[in-house]
Amino acid sequence: MADANESARATGIPHWQADCARCSRELSDRLVADGTITWAESLAQPMWVCPLCGNKRCAKASFHGHECDRGDAEVARQQAQAEQDRAEIERRGITRRQLIDERLAAFMAE
């Protein structure tokens, strides 16, 4: 990840290293502390959604240690989807955020 710092500057947050809002903030705090990004850049936080239910209001979106607070059937379906997503992210060497952005773009184009 030679371009990690460059990407961090471009986006404010190197989101491949975080999986929830809390991790993202902690990560950006560390990057501000070591001078990788500026404090202003650290404010540009991505919108995190729960990897299981996809809901930004889910408890798991704010912190990965929380339980997903959606129904079991939905959780099971989303869990399978999250597995697929993880495989796709690994296979294509992209970030979760890139995958989400692609889907959003496809959705908007419909």
Of the two residues 6 and 56, which places its CB atom closer to Zn ion in the complex? 56
∠ CA 109-21-82, rounded to 5°: 55
Q: Which two tokens stand for residue 31?
A: 């990057």
Residue whose entry in the numeric block shows the structure tokens 């705090």: 29
CB 97 → Zn ion: shortest distance, Å?
14
CB 77 → Zn ion: shortest distance, Å?
12
Please give the residue ranges that form the binding site for Zn ion (CB under 5 A).
19-20, 23, 50, 52-53, 58, 60, 64, 68, 70
Of the two residues 6 and 26, which places its CB atom closer to Zn ion in the complex? 26
Is residue 17 within 8 A of residue 64, CB to CB? The reply is no
